[in-house]
Chains A and B, each alone.
Chain A
Amino acid sequence: MLDSFPKLLSATLITLKLLSASLFFGLFIGLFFAILRLNKNIFINKFAYGYSYVFRGTPLLVQIFIIYFGLAQIEYLRTSFLWIILKEPYWCAIIAFTFNTGAYTSEILRSAFQTIKPGVIEAGKSLGIPNKIIFYKIQIPIAIRQSLPAYGNEIILMMKGTSLASTVTLMDLTGVAKYIISTTFKPIEVFIVAGGIYLFMTFIIHNVIKYLEKKYSFQ
């Protein structure tokens, strides 16, 4: 049980790398699509809705497999410069996670934008603040505060989602755990150690979000 701990701990690093990269890119994609969702143009609106519907309606495993196994089939992609990225399972996993978390984040941010009271925006307008600054300095900070609890859940879901990277040959925490289980046949011990590491990460994320919520609460 203790022998497996260092191996699992070093695999945690890959899990954390996958998580932080996909959350970072996913936040931008989520914000981008949330803004598209608020657009009055019905085509842009429907496009953004379709994106989030497809990525939220299909399992993450399917998305990873399409990107890792599926895209490699297109001859055009294999000759283009994109192939340098797409041949690596690491980047394929990050791309899949990014689009997946982006879809959920866009929904969270959209509902946050929609719950901002119109009076706040009107107050900004009546003070003669340009629309752009109202958006960046008033709407975005309020939306971020509103969406913190839901986004915290999304981070935890995504952390669990990174375990799927093990299906495309990446040795993340779950991948190493599976390897140790299948070589030592000690599923329960390994589950306790690996599960404990995951729970510890959940605990930390949960508390950081709680702290941020408190810090940015409206007083």
Chain B
Amino acid sequence: MDLLYFGDSGWGDELAIATLMTIAVSITAMLIGFIFAAIFTPLKLSKRKYLNLISNSYTTVIRGVPELLVIYLFFFGGSGAIMYVASIFGYNDYIEINAFLTGSFSIGIISGAYSTEVFRGAIQSIDRGQFEAAKVLGVSKFTQFYKIILPQMLRLAIPNLSNVWQITLKDTSLISVTGLVEIMRQSYIAAGSTRDPLFFYSCAAVLYLILTYLSMKLINKLEVKYSRGY
């Protein structure tokens, strides 16, 4: 247990900071995922075939390829791509992108594909009458979405989004390969310097269990809140 002391002698404070990092990456990735979902869900629901094709290929490719491969693509390819864009604008120095940004972006793209499917399912299961009633009342497209569709969609989407959140939270452990110090990386460092991998990886497992348990509780509360009146 000495190993978990806070301060210089133990790894308690390092692991606590790493846990916060995991939470930060997960939330950032989830939000980036929502941005992707906000772009690709309308494309998926569009009547134009080629827009559907773009969106479908995004979700199929991301959901059919291992997360680790996507992370390697952005980890090794990310700085190259940004340097290429920068060189067009006449900036030729070496650019190294932050591990946090690469990590959250690559996990965000993955969680975005899952979120897109969730939102598509939620919108499609809203009664057609709701759209028609809004049209008949002359509600503008913008108000229709924010005041009528979105609240109903959220109620339907929250249980499935909770699954996406769990997947995203667990996927952040893969970012450790890029060197970002989150739970997994910190346990790896601690295990290496104390030669006690069993203890530290078990700690990591317990930390992840606590995170999934707590987020489960929180999401259940949200679910109750959004299903008032049903």
Contacts and interface: CB of A to CB of B under 8 A. Distances in A.
A202 B63 CA distance: 9
Given A57-B213, A62-B204, A160-B66, A70 B60 contact: no
A31 to B, nearest CB: 24
B208 A59 contact: yes
Contacts of B224: none
B205 A58 contact: yes
Nearest to B68: A163
Interface stretch (B2-10, B37-45, B190-198): B190-198
Contacts of B196: 73
A174 B68 CA distance: 8
Interface residues of B, number: 37
B69 A191 contact: yes
Contact of A61 (B66, B166, B174): B174
A79 interface: no
Interface string B59-88: 011011111110011001100100000000
B170 interface: yes
Given A61-B173, A62-B173, A198 B69 contact: yes
A166 B72 CA distance: 12
A62 B184 contact: yes
B202 interface: yes
Tell me if A's interface is mostly helix, strand, loop or mixed.
helix
Contact of B65 (A69, A166, A198): A198
B226 interface: no
Given A69-B191, A195-B61, A199-B64, A62 B77 contact: no
B208 A195 contact: no
Contacts of B68: 163-164, 166-167, 174
Interface string A47-82: 000000110011111110110011111100000000
B205 A174 contact: no
A201 to B, nearest CB: 8
